[in-house]
Amino acid sequence: MQREDEAIEKAEKARKRAPETPPPTEPTPEPQPQPRDFNEVMQGFAEEARRRGEGGTRGAEAPQGGGDIYTDTSLNAPAGGGFDWRKVDQLRYEGVPLKGVREILADKRDSQLFNEYFLTSLRPPEVRGGLEGLKLRYAEERPEPEDMKFMGAAADEFSYRLHLAEQKKLEVADVELLARRGDSFFATLVKHEGYGQEGLKRATEIANSAILYNAMTKPDGAQKFLADLQSLSRNRDSSRYKESEARRQEIGKSVGVSVRDYEKVFRLDTEANRRASKDYLEKKIHEQAGKFRRMLDWMDSDNPEIGRKFVRLPGSLPGSSRWAAERAVQKAELAGKDYTYHLSLSNALKTIDTNLKDIATYLGPAINKPEVRTLIAREALTNQNQRLASEGGPESFEQVQQLSRGACSQQSIEQRIRERMRERDWPKGNTPDDIAAQNSIVRDMARAERHEYAGGGFFAWLFGMLFGQNWNKAANGALGRPIRI
Amino acid sequence: MTTTMNKEELGAFYDKLAELTEHGTEGDVRTYVDHYYPRLPETVRNEILFGALADAVHDLAREEAAVEQVIEEGLSAAEALQQAKEQIQRSQKNGLT
């Protein structure tokens, strides 16, 4: 491990000593001045720019436009929360209070987020020498126009991500609700942060600071997380939700299903009772869901002979409640008048009453319990055979395994690196410059791929860990020397 | 008081976790992470906890949307049935059958 560190350090030093592709007019800067703290340099540069009247509060800003060298936006599409500094979509920043580089660096928290998390998480800028080259030129106070353009765009993107993270803060009650979902991994882990309100408070603080960190490094994941949070609060606060609540209560009342009848089923006081209640409910809900579906089938069955007799009223859309009502009425009438339907009028009334009770019980007071809602939702999602959306990285253990055995296995990665090594512009020599250039290319490849699979959930984290390991091993194998990605 | 893993231990933790991920089950991975969680460095713990939180929020939001859909469908069906019932009762009252 020590030898590996030394080799890496040596290569890095060599890389810092000489820019990778020095322009012919510029001699290799030697000896290298002692690198200064990046913040200090940036602040100094911003001050200088201000004195020269080149920038306002947004010190390192550069004019838009310029060559469009980098055109592959598939990994950094702005719609997904990515960032392509050459193709900035200004609409993305509408309504966002934009900060300039100088302003960002003047704030302790912002400066740390910008330097330690935000800049390093970006796909390396396509400027001479990548991010390291850019930092070096700033350290030498000779940034190039492209460097300035990148830093200006980066400041805008940073402001956007900060704004995104500050939109919603979790409350202790939110974390408590999530911690009650006993089978989630979060509920398991949150116990380590301490019990009771103290533990929840600590977990809430961690979660809120993690939102900020994630917005900086994985905006897709953070954006999705915030969207989920917003959709939850929107559902609960909406007038539609309240209206549906009132309708449910009305139906329960009309068929005599009281809150108490169903409430007594739930005993959540002890672990054993909770489990027993859940087992019972799972069974019950499964049965009810079956009945419910059969009832809908009954209403929906499309006997062609009966179907021809249906006359839809204007304005009733298939699938709407009015349409369903019309069909139910017509079927009920047919049941009374047309014995080809094999259902007597009294039987039709009986069926209706039974089904109404079933629905009222199914949708009734029980649905207000989080545990029950979860069961109902899972049943519904299973019935609909819904699959998890896979935007922004793996979202299930199976996806992680699939990727780590396929496209992101050590063998696949090694093959990609070897293919790249066969290209004409691969630096083939063994000089420190060649090694530094090789490392830079391989790291860029890894970063670009990492962006493709970035996500915010636990499985994305797990995959990220595996991805790093496989890349390290593959790069070591392909290059025949230690390299840390 | 548990001690935080040192660099070597953390490396071993990642190696074992990678092995479990490739050849084990989700349950194995969860149990393993849960067991060593208190000894992980704070930054790693925070990343894992946020990941698990994001999953829990995502699942909850997804489930809530599904429940809302079930409620809406159920209410539509119940209202349709109530109307049908009223229609039949009117028919009976008028002596049509």
Residue B23's pLDDT band (cuts 50, 70, 90): very high
Cα(A456)–Cα(A122) distance, rounded to whole angstroms?
Answer: 16
Arithmetic mean of pLDDT, A110-130: 82
Residue A337 with chain B: CB contacts under 8 Å:
97
Query: Taking CA atoms, what residue in A is nearest to B12?
Result: A469
The percentage of chain A sitting over the pLDDT mark of 70, rounded to a whole number, equals: 55
> Does pLDDT of A473 surpass 70?
yes
**Is the distance from CB of A352 to CB of A333 less than 8 angstroms?**
no
Q: Which residues contact A122 (CB under 8 A, 6 or more apart)?
A: A83, A131, A154
Q: What is the pLDDT of residue A367?
A: 63
Residue A111 in contact with partner chain B when CB distance is under 8 A = no
Cα–Cα–Cα angle for A394, A396, A399, rounded to 5 degrees: 60
DSSP class of residue A86 equals T
More confident residue, A367 or A341: A367
Residue B37's pLDDT band (cuts 50, 70, 90): very high
Scan residues 424-463 of A and list those with Cβ closer than 8 Å to B: 456-462
> Does pLDDT of A298 surpass 60?
no
**Tens of pLDDT along B78-92?**
777 777 777 777 777
Max mean pLDDT among A258-267, A295-304, A402-411 falls in: A402-411
Instruction: Choose among A7, A3, A23, A4: nearest CA to A15.
Output: A7
Q: How far is B5 from chain A (nearest CA, A)?
A: 16
Q: How far is B59 from chain A (nearest CA, A)?
A: 9
Determine which of A132-141, A267-276, A329-338, A467-476 has the lowest per-residue pLDDT on average: A329-338
Query: CB atoms < 10 A from the CB of A419, how many?
Result: 10
Arithmetic mean of pLDDT, A183-194: 84
Tokens of A278: 């859940």
> Does pLDDT of A410 surpass 80?
yes
More confident residue, A36 or A455: A455
Determine which of A78-87, A247-256, A375-384 has the lowest per-residue pLDDT on average: A78-87
Query: Taking CA atoms, what residue in B is nearest to A249?
Result: B75
Q: What is the pLDDT of residue B14?
A: 93
Q: How many CA atoms lie within 13 A of A187 on its CB side?
A: 13
Q: How far is A169 from chain B (nearest CA, A)?
A: 13
Q: What is the pLDDT of residue A327?
A: 55
Residue A322's pLDDT band (cuts 50, 70, 90): very low
Tokens of A156: 């805008």
Residue A345 with chain B: CB contacts under 8 Å:
88, 91-92, 97
Max mean pLDDT among A280-289, A320-329, A404-413 falls in: A404-413
- Does residue A431 come out as left (phi exceeding 0), alpha (psi in the -120 to 50 range) or beta? beta
Determine which of A68-82, A144-158, A470-484, B14-28 has the lowest per-residue pLDDT on average: A68-82
Residue A239 with chain B: CB contacts under 8 Å:
none
Cα Rg of chain A, angstroms: 31
Arithmetic mean of pLDDT, A403-419: 93
CA distance readout (Å), A232 to A86, A271, B57, B67, B68: 36, 27, 9, 12, 11
Max mean pLDDT among A124-138, A234-248, B9-23 falls in: B9-23
Residue B31 in contact with partner chain A when CB distance is under 8 A = no
CA A118 to chain centre: 17
What single letter denotes the amino acid at residue B58? H
Arithmetic mean of pLDDT, A141-149: 88
Cα(B11)–Cα(A12) distance, rounded to whole angstroms?
Answer: 22
Determine which of A153-162, A207-216, A362-371, A413-422 has the lowest per-residue pLDDT on average: A362-371
More confident residue, B44 or A223: B44
**Tens of pLDDT along A253-273?**
877 766 555 555 555 556 676
> Does pLDDT of A243 surpass 90?
no
Residue B61 in contact with partner chain A when CB distance is under 8 A = yes
Q: What is the pLDDT of residue A294?
A: 53
ipTM over 0.90? The verdict is no
Q: Which residues contact A128 (CB under 8 A, 6 or more apart)?
A: A19, A20, A21, A144, A146
CA distance readout (Å), A262 to A257, A267, A362, A409, A445: 8, 11, 10, 52, 58
Cα(A432)–Cα(A428) distance, rounded to whole angstroms?
Answer: 11
> Does pLDDT of B76 surpass 50?
yes
Tokens of A481: 């020397």
Max mean pLDDT among A316-320, A406-410, A414-418 falls in: A414-418
Instruction: Choose among A68, A76, A71, A87: nearest CA to A153.
Output: A87
